[in-house]
């Protein structure tokens, strides 16, 4: 996934990271630290869930107080610190304070994230031990450990990096992310951390991150759920000596996308019970929003996801979902393709193509294209199939 | 389900029905006829799916042409006659014509419905044979056969009736309905037929039906899908001699609800792979719409449905869904109850109640109450749990 660069958040210059085990999870690494040697521009996109976890509230406040600057990100897995009341807020703030003290940096420069069980309080003795251990373990090679320490029951770590050669100069971008789908019952869910050694003003970094997240992390779905703890943070420390200004926004967006898109797709590929990555392309929308809405409806349809799981080229389900998605839709101009195989077009089925489509569905990577027949706008969303394994994972009692 | 009245559409006076087998399905009854001895007021609620099946378009046109009068409903199962182009429209109109001829009634007086596989054309030879056979078999005892003939793979027929004693007089209401959840892959889905021997003007019947459907058939969900063929028809023939006017709207609404609510709940109970009926009550909404939206989000949440299937009193998932439902929500005033057991209230968990809640979840009928903490409006939606059996049913190839 990388362009001959070490993967992950320490690929860009001037970043160190660590992942340690401090006992929050029953086993494995559970506390990650990502540190920029110099104060960095910082940007964030937070969950839109109205039940926002304490670390979300604390990080948002810190970014405001620092006007978009940060030196470090501290993350624990195994406990979401969500729905934990005033104690939860104290604990999230203490995570930032203890990291500030251990690193000797500004308090406003530490962002906090948590992922794990909702409604359980953090054990601050364990967190303190983790922060102390991680700050001692920080290194240029620590990216992979950090990627593992933010996992809950993700089937594999997600790390990506890229070296970007641009008219403005050569710089690097790296990132790590964790799971989607409530990986363990009441897990809270999606975290992404992106670093770059380009110099970028906070406001520009925020604009670029927002743009990129809309088309990557916000364009994936495993089960249509949106957690209390979702967040994506970006740090830009300028260590490459390359400065990106307003005129280079497109370069920055492209660079961030080179990391965020494969991370987002990696999350879907590792979705609960997933056996296939499904790219849902909707064309023929009257607006971006309509195309996205239809694509999300298809990507979240249980009937579509189970049909793909079962290898059934069931175009009727795709038409039925497009028709109910609440968007402009013209049946007589609509079409459905699996890969390049047309199954429905101009109001009539092409059922003779069903056997070929059934063979296509045996692939691990499937592209579904639905033309709404109503306009010229398009949108892409990534999802996975729905298996009995998803039900098994999520029906099991927490204990 | 009945008040000492024969169940189903023939419980009201002046209605006859039949269900016959004409070979559209591989086996079993597959064509139903419901006939009023005298022309009746007719009302209908149709699917909002933009991919509307031919019988939906034909029935809508016929109701307009007759200004809300009809004498008969003809229904086939096994083939949805949806996405079938101009031929599909011809076939649906021919079903009405052939029924008109067989019954010797006005063509505008026959409503048509189909349920079954999408994208397959009706075999009109079989349909013709079915209409001829059903018109010969019509009887006052034919309600149960009609209820069976509209089933696809519903696990049981749904028929209800009630005798209503009101200041306006005593009259009867009856109804039948079929499946929700795409009962067989690419089945198109929910049909409901209601009869009454009260005399009601078409416009009043339409208002009452719309009101009742909103709180019954439109308040259920198995998998969040909305098909191309959904419709509910009501016929009122006045055979009881009881006339309901504008002033009796509440009586009419209550009478229709007595039939439609148990039919709707029956559909959920017979949902694909369902093992539990789940009543989702949302309170504390700032509007009806907010409460309904949150209730639907909870009722369609895979994580909520799998947790209930697994007997896990997972209040964190309920809070997370309420928070992402796009409605006003105040975490610190929100609460979650399973049955009468409080699990989250005033911003704090009551995990000591988890064992009792886990025992409660072993029941077949579960009530979940979520207070949004934002207002005083409430809404109820019925759903079922999500089992691996649902995935198995819908992942299997059609053939």
For the segment A257-302, what is each residue's pLDDT rounded down to a tens digit? 888 888 888 888 887 788 999 999 999 999 989 999 999 889 888 8
Structure-token pair, residue B135: 């018109």
- Ranking A136-150, A253-267, B183-197, B267-281 by mean pLDDT, the lowest is B183-197
The mean of the pLDDT values for chain B is 87
DSSP designation for B139: B
Establish if A188 touches chain B: CB-CB under 8 angstroms: yes
Three-state secondary-structure class, residue B175: strand
First-residue to last-residue Cα distance in chain A: 36
Active-site annotation holder among B47, B99, B115, B189: B189
ipTM over 0.90: no
Name the residue in chain A with its Cα closest to that of B396: A310
pLDDT tens sequence across B35-79:
999 899 998 888 777 778 899 999 999 999 999 989 999 999 999
Contacts of B334 in chain A (CB under 8 A): 51
Q: Which helix (H) or strand (E) holds B236?
A: strand B231-236
Q: Which CATH class is domain B15-269?
A: alpha beta
CA B189, CA B192: separation in Å to the nearest integer?
10
CA A225, CA A180: separation in Å to the nearest integer?
9
CA B267, CA B260: separation in Å to the nearest integer?
11
CA B71, CA B42: separation in Å to the nearest integer?
8
Distances from the Cα of B227 to the Cα of A313, B46, B78, B230, angstroms: 18, 10, 15, 6
- pLDDT of residue B393 exceeding 80: no
The distance from CA A188 to its chain's CA centroid, rounded to whole angstroms, is 12
Per CATH, B15-269 and B277-395 having the same topology is answered no
Say yes or no for a CB contact (<8 Å) between B320 and A227.
Answer: yes
Closest CA to A194 of A173, A211, A164: A173
Half-sphere exposure of B326 (CA within 13 A, CB side): 6
Name the residue in chain A with its Cα closest to that of B350: A119
Half-sphere exposure of A107 (CA within 13 A, CB side): 11
Query: Global pTM?
Result: 0.78
Q: Which of B391, B396, B397 is the best residue to mutate to test the A interface, defined by the most A CB atoms within 10 Å of its own CB?
A: B391
Write the residue in B320, B344, B395 that is nearest to A310 by C-beta.
B395
pLDDT tens sequence across A99-117:
999 998 765 589 999 988 8
Q: What is the pLDDT of residue B397?
A: 45
Q: What is the pLDDT of residue B18?
A: 97
What does the CA dihedral A286, A290, A294, A300 come to, rounded to 10 degrees? 170
Write the residue in B51, B314, B320 that is nearest to A398 by C-beta.
B314
Structure-token pair, residue B276: 């539990």
Contacts of B118 in chain A (CB under 8 A): 316-317, 319-320
Active-site annotation holder among A189, A196, A228, A383: A189
- pLDDT of residue B298 exceeding 70: yes
- Between positions 300 and 319 of A, the ones with CB within 8 A of B are 300-303, 306-307, 309-312, 314-317, 319
Distance from CA of A203 to the nearest CA of B (A): 27
Confidence of residue B189 (pLDDT cuts 50, 70, 90): low
Q: Which of B296, B299, B306, B336 is the best residue to mutate to test the A interface, defined by the most A CB atoms within 10 Å of its own CB?
A: B306
Distance from CA of B139 to the nearest CA of A (A): 36
Write the residue in A314, A387, A394 that is nearest to B303 by C-beta.
A394
CA A143, CA A33: separation in Å to the nearest integer?
9
Q: Which of A306, A348, A389 is the best residue to mutate to test the B interface, defined by the most B CB atoms within 10 Å of its own CB?
A: A306
**Contact partners, residue A270, CB within 8 Å, separation at least 6:** A154, A155, A156, A158, A179
Cβ(A100)–Cβ(A109) below 8 Å: yes
Say yes or no for a CB contact (<8 Å) between B303 and A225.
Answer: yes
Say yes or no for a CB contact (<8 Å) between B310 and A186.
Answer: no
Q: What is the pLDDT of residue A184?
A: 35
Distances from the Cα of A178 to the Cα of A29, A70, A170, angstroms: 13, 21, 28
CA B287, CA B270: separation in Å to the nearest integer?
31
Q: What is the pLDDT of residue B375?
A: 95
A189: annotated active-site residue: yes
Establish if A176 touches chain B: CB-CB under 8 angstroms: no
Say yes or no for a CB contact (<8 Å) between A119 and B347.
Answer: no
- pLDDT of residue A4 exceeding 60: no
Distance from CA of B327 to the nearest CA of A (A): 9
Which residue is associated with the tokens 């670093």? A195
Establish if B331 touches chain A: CB-CB under 8 angstroms: yes
Helices and strands in chain B: count of H runs, count of E runs: 11, 18
Establish if B49 touches chain A: CB-CB under 8 angstroms: yes
Burial of B128 from C-beta contacts in 10 A (0-12 / 13-18 / 19+): middle
Three-state secondary-structure class, residue B212: helix
Instruction: Identify the CATH homologous superfamily for domain A277-395.
Output: ArgJ beta chain, C-terminal domain (3.10.20.340)
The mean of the pLDDT values for chain A is 87
Longest dimension (CA), chain A: 69
Average pLDDT over residues B111-139: 93
pLDDT tens sequence across A342-382:
999 987 889 899 999 999 999 999 999 999 999 999 999 88
pLDDT tens sequence across A188-213:
567 888 889 888 888 999 888 888 88
B377-384/B220-221 β-pairing: parallel
- pLDDT of residue A1 exceeding 50: no
- pLDDT of residue B188 exceeding 60: no
* CA-atom Rg of chain A in angstroms: 22
Distances from the Cα of A189 to the Cα of A54, A82, A151, A217, A356, angstroms: 14, 11, 10, 12, 37
Say yes or no for a CB contact (<8 Å) between A119 and B386.
Answer: no
Q: What is the pLDDT of residue A335?
A: 95
Which residue is associated with the tokens 């009746």? B40
The distance from CA A31 to its chain's CA centroid, rounded to whole angstroms, is 19
Structure-token pair, residue B345: 């209230």
Distance from CA of B142 to the nearest CA of A (A): 33
Q: Where are the domains of chain A?
A: 15-269, 277-395
Write the residue in B329, B387, B394 that is nearest to A303 by C-beta.
B394
Q: What is the 3-state secondary structure (H, E, C) of chain A?
A: CCCCCCCCCCCCCCEEEEEECCCCCCCCCCEEEEEEEEEEEEEEEECCCCCCCHHHHHHHHHHHHCCCEEEEEEEEEEECCCCCHHHHHHHHHHHHHHHHHHHCCCHHHEEEEEEEECCCCCCHHHHHHHHHHHHHHCECCCHHHHHHHCCCCCCCCEEEEEEEEECCEEEEEEEEEECCCCCCCCEECCEEEEEECCEECHHHHHHHHHHHHHHCHHHEECCCCCCCCCEEEEEECCCCCCEECHHHHHHHHHHHHHHHHHHHHHHHHCCCCCCCEEEEEEEEECCHHHHHHHHHHHHHCHHHHHHHHCCCCCHHHHHHHHHHCCCCCCHHHCEEEECCEEEEECCEECHHHHHHHHHHCCCCEEEEEEECCCCCEEEEEEEECCCHHHHHHHHCCCC
Half-sphere exposure of B186 (CA within 13 A, CB side): 24
Contacts of B224 in chain A (CB under 8 A): 300-302
Distance from CA of A105 to the nearest CA of B (A): 33
Distances from the Cα of A37 to the Cα of A59, A162, B76, B96, B263, angstroms: 20, 20, 72, 78, 66
Closest CA to A66 of A40, A92, A88, A87: A40
Burial of B332 from C-beta contacts in 10 A (0-12 / 13-18 / 19+): exposed
Average pLDDT over residues B329-355: 92
């Amino acid at each position: 996934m990388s362009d001959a660069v070490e993967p992950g958040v320490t690929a860009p210059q001037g970043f160190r990271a660590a992942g340690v085990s401090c006992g929050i999870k029953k086993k494995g690494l559970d506390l990650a630290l990502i540190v920029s040697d110099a104060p960095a521009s910082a940007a964030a996109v937070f969950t839109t869930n109205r039940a926002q976890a304490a670390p979300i509230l604390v990080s948002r406040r810190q970014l405001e107080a620092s006007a978009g600057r940060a030196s470090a990100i501290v993350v624990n897995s195994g406990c979401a610190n969500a729905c934990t009341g005033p104690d939860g807020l104290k604990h999230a703030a203490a995570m930032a304070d203890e990291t500030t003290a251990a690193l000797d940096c500004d308090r406003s420069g530490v962002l906090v994230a948590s992922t794990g069980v909702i409604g359980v309080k953090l054990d601050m003795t364990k967190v303190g031990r983790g922060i102390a251990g991680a700050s001692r373990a920080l290194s240029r090679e620590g990216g992979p450990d950090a990627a593992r320490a933010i996992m809950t029951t993700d089937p594999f770590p997600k790390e990506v990096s890229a070296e970007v050669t641009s008219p403005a100069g050569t710089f690097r971008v790296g990132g790590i992310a964790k799971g989607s789908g409530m990986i363990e019952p009441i897990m809270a869910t999606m975290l992404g951390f992106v670093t770059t050694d380009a110099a970028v003003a906070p406001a520009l970094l925020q604009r670029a991150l927002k743009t990129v997240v809309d088309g990557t992390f916000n364009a994936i779905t495993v089960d249509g759920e949106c957690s209390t703890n979702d967040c994506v943070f970006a740090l830009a420390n300028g260590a490459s000596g390359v400065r990106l200004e307003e005129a280079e926004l497109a370069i920055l967006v492209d660079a961030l996308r080179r990391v965020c898109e494969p991370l987002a797709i990696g999350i879907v590929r590792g979705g609960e019970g997933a056996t296939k990555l499904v790219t849902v392309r909707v064309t023929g929308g009257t607006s971006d929003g309509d195309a996205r809405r239809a694509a999300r409806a298809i990507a979240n349809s249980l009937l579509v996801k189970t049909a793909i799981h079962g290898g059934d080229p069931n175009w009727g389900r795709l038409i039925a979902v497009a028709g109910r998605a609440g968007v402009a839709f013209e049946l007589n101009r609509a079409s459905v393709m699996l890969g390049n195989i047309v199954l429905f077009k101009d109001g009539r089925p092409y059922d003779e193509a069903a056997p070929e489509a059934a063979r296509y569905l045996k692939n691990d990577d499937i592209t579904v294209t639905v033309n709404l027949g109503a306009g010229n706008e398009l949108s892409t969303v990534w999802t996975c199939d729905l298996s009995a394994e998803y039900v098994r994972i999520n029906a099991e009692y927490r204990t």
